[in-house]
Amino acid sequence: MKKSATLICKNPKDARRTYTLGSEAFRIGRLEENDISLDNPYISRYHAEIFFNDPDYQIKDLGSTSGTFVNGERITEKTLNDGDLIRLGRGRGIEFIFDAGRTTSPLDETSEEADDGSTAGDQNLLPICVIAPEEARFLDTTRLPATADLEDETIGWLRSLYEFSGDVLSTHSPNDLAEKLSVFLHRTLKADRCAVLLHNRERDSLFVAAQSSSDHGTEVSPSRSVTERIFRENVAVLSMDARKDERFSDHESVRFQSIRSVMGAPIGSKINVWGVCYVDNVRNERAFDEEELEFMTAVARQAGLMMENLHLIEEQRRSLESFMRTLAASIDARDDNTAGHSARVAAHSSAIARAMGLDPGECRLIYYAGLLHDYGKIGTRDDVLLKPDRLTPEEYEHVKEHPLHTFRILSKIRFPEDLAEIPFVAAAHHERWDGSGYPHGLRENEIPLGSRIVAVADAYDALTEERVYSEGVEPDAAANEIRVRSGSYFDPRVVEGFMDYFERLVKPSRLRKSKPEEVDTLQPENPDLSPARQE
């Protein structure tokens, strides 16, 4: 049976008055001659009109001063959808919920999936409050009462928001941030369930990145209709289960009891929305209120700003890597015979570092040092660099200058603080454990650990890759050559890490590494400097 469309008015004391809409135009304003007369300074004399335009209802602003809004968006005229939140005036204006009426059937009591991917249970969730993030009082504290008039609960919300804002500064990834946000909201809002959904750009869909539940082990399945609306419209929503919410009846005022309560807010900034935070109470008799929605919105905005920072850091990282690969490619253009050497050395170096148990930051630094370890060869003469035969002693001395060139050039680049050691690490990869290397004759722990790792990776690639002046050897033979030089050329600890990496990952495949697309053409050397070409 079809119910009549209704307009549910929300007054400041949370009472509700329901108005039935018919085919005649329904006018709202401050004067008594309107169908709804509102004694409110934010409402114009003739503010807005709702009229039936078969088969839909439409709302039209009548030139009001403070505006008419539907779901947070200011409108001139708009078709209304079931559950739309209508707000007349800014500040302390009046809000209405539009209920288009629905046909009741047994399907309403099921949770079968609808055509749009939502469930019938989702369809019963009607928004009680929809706000734009910038309207949240906890973000615009000028809208809060004077400090002396603040309630203890509001002060508690402000304190929790401050603590969370400080806590998220230590996050290093979106997933880490999602986990912290989920735990914080679940604990602070005393929700039955909480989920943080992030947006997958490639699939243009939301996925649950973190979740918390009072019933440990229970998977959280957020309302798809609610979360999609929050994400697409960048609004925060408080919803209730209309089947159990007596406020949608003709009663003047009803308390929030024994109903399904759902809140969600966008994780974003004014520019981007990165995801949605979602909480609900399924069994709990306590329903969320509008102050909690404003608090959640403020928390989500703080998380969104942090997500923005993480995105910018990631973009900076990608730009830096692109820049360093471009530097390596500038050498690649000089000699096709060694194309890919630096890219392979970088990959081997970071793999050895991981096998040695180094932290991700150290592995990243060592990777970039491996990528740029031979960049100083940009200062090596073409007749020496491209010579397809054994080098003369004079030519070899000229090649040995390239680590100094590497340091001098790379030290002019302003690397991020966590990568500031790249020039030192890259320039010392020809130093030897026994002190017989160059350019400074460093020995043992005088040589940076990253340089000792790059030295092993460089030697392995030089041995296995074919050159115009020598044929590459099999991986097993190259690994044995490095093992033999442990304690003389190479740090025994690094050789142990290399052998672990080799036995676990390289040897089982028995595949010679192909040359990457983004590569470097820097000349390697044979680590034992015999009888193949010396560099």
Give the H/E segment covering residue 199.
strand 193-200
* CATH code where residue 209 lies: 3.30.450.40
Residue 120 within any structural domain of the chain: no
| 136 and 94 co-located in one domain | no
| 351 and 410 co-located in one domain | yes
Amino acid at position 490, single letter:
F
| 362 and 278 co-located in one domain | no
Residue 253 within any structural domain of the chain: no
Q: Which residues pair with 262 in a beta bridge?
A: 239, 280
Report the C-alpha gap between 493 and 525 in whole angstroms: 22
| Residues whose CB falls within 8 Å of the CB of residue 57, separated by 6 or more in sequence, listed in order | 5, 21, 50, 51, 79, 80, 98, 100
| 232 and 379 co-located in one domain | no
pTM score, two decimals? 0.56
Inter-axis angle of helices 492-501 and 475-484, nearest 10: 160
From residue 431, how far is each of 47, 375, 379, 438 by CA, in Å?
Answer: 81, 16, 20, 5
| 446 and 348 co-located in one domain | yes
| 203 and 351 co-located in one domain | no
Residue 252 within any structural domain of the chain: no
Q: Which residues pair with 7 in a beta bridge?
A: 19, 98
Domain of residue 452 covers 335-513
Residue 475 within any structural domain of the chain: yes
Residue 526 within any structural domain of the chain: no
| 307 and 177 co-located in one domain | yes
* CATH code where residue 384 lies: 1.10.3210.10
- Tens digits of pLDDT across the chain (535 residues): 445 788 887 764 444 578 888 888 899 988 888 888 887 767 888 899 999 988 889 999 998 878 899 988 899 999 999 888 898 987 667 888 888 874 333 233 333 444 444 444 454 555 667 777 877 777 766 666 666 656 676 677 677 777 777 777 778 888 999 999 999 898 888 888 899 999 998 888 899 999 988 776 667 778 787 888 889 888 888 876 634 444 334 333 223 333 467 889 999 987 889 999 998 887 656 678 888 888 899 899 989 989 988 888 888 888 888 888 888 878 767 766 667 888 899 999 999 999 999 999 999 999 999 999 989 988 888 888 878 788 888 998 898 999 999 999 999 998 888 899 999 999 999 999 999 999 999 999 999 999 999 999 999 998 988 765 667 788 999 999 999 999 999 999 999 999 999 998 887 765 544 444 333 333 333 333 222 343 4
Domains identified in the chain, total number:
3
Give the H/E segment covering residue 51.
strand 48-53
Residue 124 within any structural domain of the chain: no
| 95 and 208 co-located in one domain | no
| 87 and 213 co-located in one domain | no
Residue 182 within any structural domain of the chain: yes
Residue 533 within any structural domain of the chain: no
| 349 and 451 co-located in one domain | yes
| 339 and 475 co-located in one domain | yes
| 358 and 391 co-located in one domain | yes
Report the C-alpha gap between 459 and 317 in whole angstroms: 28
Structure-token match 């017989």, residue found: 436
Name the residue among 446, 449, 444 with its Cα closest to residue 434. 444
Q: Which residues pair with 237 in a beta bridge?
A: 130, 264
* CATH code where residue 81 lies: 2.60.200.20
